[in-house]
Amino acid sequence: MDYHTGDIIKVTVTSIENYGIFVKVDERYNGLIHISEMSDSFVSNVRNFAFPGEDIYAKVMDVDVLKNQMKLSIKSINYRLTNKKGRMMESPNGFSKLKECLPIWIDTKLKEIECKN
């Protein structure tokens, strides 16, 4: 798969160090989310952002095809796949698809109701 700067991708956390989070992108690429790419605020503990084995979203900042490595970021994106209660959260693209489809679904249902009456 080809990755480009700005892509939001799903990754798996493999380990955590004081300076960042290491992730597996796919069979070819590994990545690092450096501490400076976790938050605009001061990060006192990298381990507060993810845990090993967790799947998260990350934004591609740079791709090194020769070393099969990526620089990634979780700043300014909703990087968690689920919240603490295990419920699905908004995707990195937001609820835009729902916003787009909801009027169509409502219109379809209203027409269905009108046909029955």
More confident residue, 104 or 7: 7
> Average pLDDT of 60-86?
85
3, part of any domain? no
pLDDT digits (tens, 9 = 90+) for 18-72: 999 999 999 999 999 999 999 988 998 999 899 999 999 999 999 999 999 999 9
pTM as predicted = 0.69
Number of domains present in the structure of the chain: 1
Q: Provide the pLDDT for residue 35.
A: 96
* Residues in Cβ contact with 90 at an 8 Å cutoff, skipping those fewer than 6 apart: 78
Domain residues for 28?
Answer: 8-92
Q: Provide the pLDDT for residue 108.
A: 86
Number of CB atoms found within 10 A of residue 26's CB: 14
116, part of any domain? no
43, part of any domain? yes
Distance between CA 14 and CA 106 in Å, rounded?
A: 44
- The CATH number assigned to the domain holding 41 equals 2.40.50.140
102, part of any domain? no
